[in-house]
């Protein structure tokens, strides 16, 4: 409030100076003063907007196992309508034949990561096979989108020190497990997530079930009502 009174007072003073300047033929001084005032007000508004955004609780929605024609299309449409970007961990086997969906994800601002080629338990494989499972999908994504894949979602959340040392992608787990694959019930999935979610959480969902897609829309709408801001994994980790 004090800042607004200061701006008002400053505005009045500058207007007086500008008026005098015009009367005396100092038009350039008047224009400069008014420009400086406008810049000051716009800068303050941007600063206040950034402060308010930084104070919001944030969460990241993540979707595994896609892309799946039908489910993923519907999900992308709903995310676009809600102005939300999510993170998709893709299976290489599901990229084949659905390349346009992958390109669409990136075009609409979503973050893509690898979820291996065949949804395998990485620590149970020989190292060279485990690395190939991760890189095959990453290479497909990079070839289609031109963007480097920086993150991996290990199937079943299984990871170890050997993989950490040899795979360049950063492993991303989750802090809220919707268990949508087991529940396959929109109400139950929504309730489970909303009962657990807190600031800074990473929510695990899948874009291969209609019930999960509908639950995702409900979760987004309820999170927004609670004042949450929805971001991608990289944005959450950088916050």
The residues carrying an active-site annotation are 64, 206
Q: Which residue shows structure tokens 């007000």? A: 41
With the C-alpha atoms ordered 22, 24, 26, 32, is the resulting torsion angle positive or negative?
negative
Q: How far is CA 232 from each of CA 1, 98, 99, 182, 201, rounded to the nearest angstrom?
A: 34, 22, 21, 25, 11
Using CB atoms within 10 Å of the CB of residue 203, give its burial: 0 to 12 exposed, 13 to 18 middle, 19+ buried.
buried
Q: Which helix (H) or strand (E) holds 59?
A: strand 58-64
CA angle 201, 111, 46 (to 5 degrees): 75
Identify whether the C-beta of residue 90 lies closer than 8 Å to the C-beta of residue 232: no
């Amino acid at each position: 409030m004090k800042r607004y009174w200061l701006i008002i007072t400053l505005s009045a003073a500058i207007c007086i100076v500008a008026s005098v300047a015009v009367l005396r033929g100092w038009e350039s001084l008047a224009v400069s003063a008014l420009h400086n005032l406008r810049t000051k007000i716009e800068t303050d508004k941007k600063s206040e907007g950034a402060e308010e955004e930084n104070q919001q609780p944030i969460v990241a929605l993540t979707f595994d196992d896609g892309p799946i024609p039908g489910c993923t299309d519907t999900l992308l449409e709903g995310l676009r309508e809600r102005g939300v970007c999510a993170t998709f961990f893709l299976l290489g086997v599901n990229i084949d034949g659905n390349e346009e969906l992958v390109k669409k994800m990136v075009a609409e601002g979503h973050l893509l990561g690898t979820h291996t080629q065949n949804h395998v338990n990485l620590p149970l494989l020989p190292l060279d096979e485990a690395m190939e499972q991760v890189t095959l999908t990453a290479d497909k994504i990079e070839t289609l989108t031109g963007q480097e894949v920086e993150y991996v979602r290990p199937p079943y959340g299984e990871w170890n020190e050997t993989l950490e040392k040899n795979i360049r992608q950063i492993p991303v787990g989750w802090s809220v497990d919707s268990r949508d694959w087991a529940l396959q019930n929109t109400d139950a999935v929504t309730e489970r997530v909303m009962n657990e979610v807190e600031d800074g959480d990473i929510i695990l969902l899948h874009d291969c079930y209609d019930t999960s897609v509908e639950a995702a829309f409900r979760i987004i709408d309820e999170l927004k009502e609670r004042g949450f801001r929805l971001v991608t994994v990289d944005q959450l980790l950088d916050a």
